[in-house]
Amino acid sequence: MAPRSQAELERLQERYDAIFQGISPPFAFVDLDAMRTNAKVLSGQASPLRIRIASKSVRSTAVLERILGLDARFRGILSFTLPEALHLARQGHEDIFVGYPTADRKALAELAALAAERPDTHPALIVDEPAHLDLIESATGRGSVPIRVAIDIDPSWWPARGRVARIGPKRSPIRTPEHARRIAAEIAERPGTRLVGAMAYEGHIAGVGDDVPGKPLRSAAIRTMQSRSLDELRARLPGVIAAIQDASDGELEWVNAGGTGSLARSKELGVATELTAGSGFYAPTLFDTYRSLDLTPAAFFCLPIVRRPHAGVATALGGGYIASGAPGADRLPQPYMPVGLTLDSDEGAGEVQTPLVGAAAKKLRVGDRVYMRHAKAGELCERFDSLYLVEGESVVDQVATYRGDGLAFL
């Protein structure tokens, strides 16, 4: 991401201060102008492929619907749990697939009922081993309508055949055409399942920034790892997909790959018929470190300053919204405006209070506001019941997050 200049950030802060003057922090908001800019970047990188929206990275039905309305190539939802997929389907959404396996028997029984109504359009489930198929068949009662499933393929990179390292998401065990053919054939043979798609999510490319500030050696190592992995995928994936096609009853509806950080690179592998993105719409801090991405921060939370323990410290209320993943400084939220604030290295972002230090802290007074960014996208929505939506110089809507709707899917 090209960093914004101090003057630009000062103007942005003035704009947000004016827009939110009547609203008391803490609150969270999405800048729709910035989100639209990001949508153009993502769509351009994916073109001509369509983008399926990763709902875990949005976690607000209203925002999800706005995103889907931004571009004709934004179609379909990659859902993160089956109850979420059922919820979205009940709201009238179609073309949903659950990107992570489920063991939720109650939700599977509900899916079976939905499948009876929508045999060709009910949410699809991801699978990668016969135990998933057993569970689906036993919980759905091998209904007369087979459940739509997709095969998850392991895109991880195994230098020296995995003896040295196995780099990539620890998800599916399916790596080879033979393995893929076996599971595809088993899906085709079983009365309770029908194969409709395949997915290979290269998280070690899509989710790992290759331009880490102050870390040139680490960045170079990441670039090498990613380019070797892409070479390996270019050689391996076509055979895996062909084996799945061969063993399936009919044509696959889609082959899905990629994420915000890899759209152009995933497309160039040549096997995907569609890509996925979610985080790029909000552009949280973890997506600041990609050479190929120039996104505009679009999701923020605003905290009030509530005390000043001494001249160099201004303490904000709340703020301890740490992102999931391997713990590290990159999982912490970051102060964005005013410019010149950092977290305190002893306290980080606190459960109830977050002390802020740096030159700007000296000027902050009780009642002032600070604008923060989360490290990840959708997780911000687990902290707030609603999001204000900003356009131009005003708040144009206030919409519920999943949390605000009383929906804690994960």
Contacting residues toward ligand PLP, per CB under 6 A: 54, 57, 78, 99, 201, 206-207, 259-260, 276-280, 377
Please state the closest distance from residue 207 (CB atom) to ligand PLP, in A.
6
Cα-Cα-Cα-Cα torsion 327, 410, 43, 37, nearest 10 degrees, comes to -70
Cβ atoms of 96 and 89 closer than 8 Å: yes
Please state the closest distance from residue 35 (CB atom) to ligand PLP, in A.
14
Q: What is the DSSP string of 331-399?
A: GS-EEEESSS-EEBTTTBS-SSEEEEESGGGGG--TT-EEEEE-SSSGGGGGS-SEEEEEETTEEEEEE
Closer residue to ligand PLP (CB): 47 or 353: 47
Q: Which of 353, 348, 359 is nearest to 316 (CA)?
A: 353
Q: What is the DSSP string of 49-79?
A: SEEEEEGGGT--HHHHHHHHTT-TTEEEEEE
Closer residue to ligand PLP (CB): 38 or 334: 38
Please state the closest distance from residue 51 (CB atom) to ligand PLP, in A.
9
CA distance 234 to 232: 5
Please state the closest distance from residue 216 (CB atom) to ligand PLP, in A.
24
CA distance 131 to 305: 52
Please state the closest distance from residue 133 (CB atom) to ligand PLP, in A.
19
Please state the closest distance from residue 375 (CB atom) to ligand PLP, in A.
12
The answer, yes or no, to whether the previous bond of 25 is cis (omega within 30 of 0) is no
Cβ atoms of 181 and 242 closer than 8 Å: no
Closer residue to ligand PLP (CB): 7 or 326: 326
Closer residue to ligand PLP (CB): 146 or 261: 261
Helices (H) and strands (E) in the chain, counts: 11, 17
CB atoms within 10 A of CB 15: 14
Residue whose beta carbon is closest to ligand PLP? 259
- Token pair for 16: 């947000």
Closer residue to ligand PLP (CB): 276 or 354: 276
Please state the closest distance from residue 88 (CB atom) to ligand PLP, in A.
16
- Pairing between β-strand 313-317 and β-strand 299-310 as defined by DSSP bridges: antiparallel
Closer residue to ligand PLP (CB): 39 or 78: 78
Closer residue to ligand PLP (CB): 57 or 315: 57
Closer residue to ligand PLP (CB): 57 or 226: 57
Please state the closest distance from residue 276 (CB atom) to ligand PLP, in A.
4
- Cα first-last separation, the chain: 29
